[in-house]
Amino acid sequence: MSKLLSIVIPAHNEEENIPVIYRAILDVGKNLLGYMFEIIIVNDGSTDDTGKVVEKLADEDPRIKYIEFSRNFSKEIALSAGIHHAHGDAVIMLDADMQHPPELIPLFVKKWKNGADVVIGMRNKRNHEGVLKRFGAALFYALMNGISNVPMDPHATDYRLIDRKVADVFEQFTERNRFTRGLVDWLGFKRSYVSFDASARHAGTASYGTKKLMNLAYSVVFTHTLFPLMIAGYMGAFITITSALLGAFVIVEDVVMGDPLGIEVSGTAMLAIMILFLVGIILVCLGFIASYIKTIQDEVIGRPLYVIARTKNISDDDSARVS
C-alpha cells in the first residue's frame, strides 16, 4: 500500500515562486515510487496574487490543499496550520522560495524509511545572507545553547521531515508564541540529517526582515527558557551578599574601629548609592517579569491560534481536527 507524504509550504507574497516549486515537487514525485503526496500551501496573509496562483493550481490538481489566513499570522503559525491539516504518514516542511532544494526530498524519505522519526535539513553556509543577519544568527544560537536545556544547531533549518507520530504530538502544543524547529527539537525522537547548500531566492524578497527576526528571537528566549527570570534571582542574591558585606565593612571600619583607613564614607552617601543601584536592579527584574506576564497573557486570553478565511480541497473533518 502506498504511503502518503504531506508537503507543507508556508507562503507570504510568493506568487512567482509557487508555480516553480510546484513543478519541482511534481518532478520529484515521479521518482518516489510507492508514495503519494499532498501539497498543503498556507497563504500567510499575502498582499500579492499568491492566493490566485495557488487556487488556480488547486483547481487543476486536487492534491494541492490550500489554506488562506485572514491576515499575516507569521511563518511559524503557517507551518503549524499545515501540520494540523496534514494527513500524511510523514510531513515535510519547506520554504516556497526554492532555497530548500525539493530534489533532496527522496533523501529525506530514505532516511525516514530507514528509521528516523525526524529528518533535519542542515544548511552548509549562509552565503546569501548579509553580515548583520549572519552575526545575529550566530549570537542568537550561542545565547540559546548557553541558556536552554535543548541544544539548537545553528545550521538546522525548517526544511525537515517529521513522522506521523511526531506530528500528532506536535499538534498538542498550545503555545501562541512558537518556534517550530525549537518545539520539534524539544520533542526529541530519533533524528537524522541531510546537508545542503542553500541557493539564492528564485524570486521576490524575504518576508522575514530584521525586525521580525528580532521579535522571533525575543519570543523564543522568553518562551523556551526560564534563564532570564533566573538572572534576576542571581543578581538579587549577588546584590544582597555584596551589600551585606559592604555594610558590615562600613560598620566595622567606621563605627567599631573609628575609621582607621580614613575613608570617611558618610552613611547618607553609601545609602544613596545602594538605593540607586538597587532601584536599577528592581527595574530590570520588573522588565523580565513583564515579559513573562505578556507570555502568560497570550496563553490564557483564549484567542484562536489562527483564523482561516477560505479553504479549497479541505474537508470538514480537517477543520474539525483544528477547532
Q: What pLDDT is recorded for position 127?
A: 58
pLDDT (tens digit, 9 = 90+) per residue, 60-91?
999 999 999 999 888 889 999 999 999 999 99
Winning range, highest mean pLDDT, from 111-120, 127-136, 142-151: 111-120
Would the pLDDT of 188 be above 60?
yes
pTM score above 0.75: no
pLDDT number for residue 323: 44
Mention every residue, 6+ apart, whose C-beta is less than 8 A from residue 304. none
Task: Give the per-residue pLDDT at 19.
Answer: 93
- Pairing type for strands 191-196 and 156-163 reads unpaired
- CB contact at 8 A, 182 and 150: yes
Q: What pLDDT does 322 receive?
A: 46
**311 contacts 319 by C-beta, under 8 angstroms:** yes
Which cell is 3 given? Answer: 504511503
For residues 5 and 89, is the Cβ–Cβ distance under 8 A? yes
What would the mean pLDDT of 35-64 be, rounded to a whole number?
93
Q: Measuring CA to CA, how many Å separate 106 from each of 7, 29, 190, 212?
A: 12, 9, 19, 32
Among 76-85, 133-142, 186-195, 254-263, the range of highest mean pLDDT: 76-85
74 Ramachandran zone, left/alpha/beta (phi>0; psi -120 to 50): left
